[in-house]
């Protein structure tokens, strides 16, 4: 049983992660982490994919089928299951995450949550897409230091924003991935010392035209890094995005509900 930090890098495609995330790839090369390719759900859009990553079921099942479907989650997910099991939950994330798991979002009153009643107990939420990733990582580390959550979601938007603005093959997009990797290089060592298992993945990738949502491999194939992994039985290119939620719960020592698939664990 471990405490878990899940980093959901919005818009980070698999090839860009392998090319630009030198710190994470270094951990893989040295045997301190494992990396899989994962298939994003369809549609490969943000809000449907957030819900799928955090509940382990497809958009056709959970019903968040478009970025314009804005309501509370209606299926068991990581935040709710963890909190029901007595775990402390937290998120440093885009406001859509708050809308999915805590309810309607007021951009002033709900930006900061401290010991709230919702599934996300502690939170720091942003509204504008160009919110700096480094600022978000610092907000996340503040949550770690103040509240020692058992489960923390970190959701930076830099890759997605730069991909939409400049395209998925642009210098700006690649640089956003590298900057996220550098922020993680500064923080992951202290998180590991504090007893956290760190997982890094994405909701979807980005095509060269700055688009996603369809079936092309460049928008569906995303990375999944597990730091300090003890895994077996699944080849690096055979993992499925729906296995993230049960993996998180299993690491937390919480039994995944029957709605979820098998976790990536030995």
Residues 6+ apart with CB under 8 A from 65: 43, 48, 59
Contact assessment for residue 220 and residue 205, using Cβ atoms and an 8 Å cutoff: yes
Question: Per residue in 204-238, pLDDT tens?
Answer: 999 999 999 999 999 999 999 999 976 544 445 66
Phi-psi region of 11 (alpha: psi -120 to 50; beta: other; left: phi over 0): left
Distance (Å, whole) CA 254 – CA 247: 10
Tokens of 103: 């309810």
**The pTM of the whole model exceeds 0.75:** yes
Q: In the chain, what percentage of residues exceed pLDDT 90?
A: 92
Contact assessment for residue 224 and residue 239, using Cβ atoms and an 8 Å cutoff: yes
Residue 266 pLDDT > 60, yes or no?
no
Question: Per residue in 54-107, pLDDT tens?
Answer: 999 999 999 999 999 999 999 999 999 999 999 999 999 999 999 999 999 999
């Amino acid at each position: 049983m471990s405490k878990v930090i899940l980093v959901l890098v919005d818009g980070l495609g698999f090839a860009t992660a392998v090319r630009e995330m030198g710190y994470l790839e270094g951990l893989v090369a040295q045997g301190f982490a494992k990396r899989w390719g994962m298939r994003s759900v369809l549609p490969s859009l943000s809000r449907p994919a957030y819900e799928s990553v955090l509940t382990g079921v497809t958009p056709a099942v959970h019903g968040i089928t478009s970025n314009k479907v804005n309501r509370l989650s209606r299926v068991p997910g990581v935040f709710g299951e963890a909190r029901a099991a007595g775990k402390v939950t937290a998120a440093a994330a885009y406001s859509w995450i708050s809308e999915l798991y805590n309810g309607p979002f007021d951009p002033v009153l709900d930006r900061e949550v401290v010991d709230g009643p919702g599934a996300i107990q502690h939170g720091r939420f942003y509204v504008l897409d160009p919110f700096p990733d480094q600022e978000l990582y610092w907000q996340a580390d503040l949550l770690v230091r103040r509240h020692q959550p058992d489960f923390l979601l970190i959701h930076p938007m830099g890759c997605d924003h730069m991909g939409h603005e400049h395209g998925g093959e642009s210098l700006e997009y690649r640089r956003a991935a590298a900057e996220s990797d550098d922020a993680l290089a500064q923080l992951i060592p202290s998180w590991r010392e504090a007893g956290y298992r760190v997982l890094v993945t994405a909701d979807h990738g980005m095509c060269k035209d700055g688009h996603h949502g369809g079936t092309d491999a460049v928008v569906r194939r995303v990375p999944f890094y597990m730091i300090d992994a003890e895994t077996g039985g699944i080849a690096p290119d055979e993992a499925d995005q729906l296995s993230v939620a049960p993996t998180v719960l299993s690491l937390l020592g919480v039994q995944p509900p029957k709605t979820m698939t098998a976790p990536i664990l030995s």
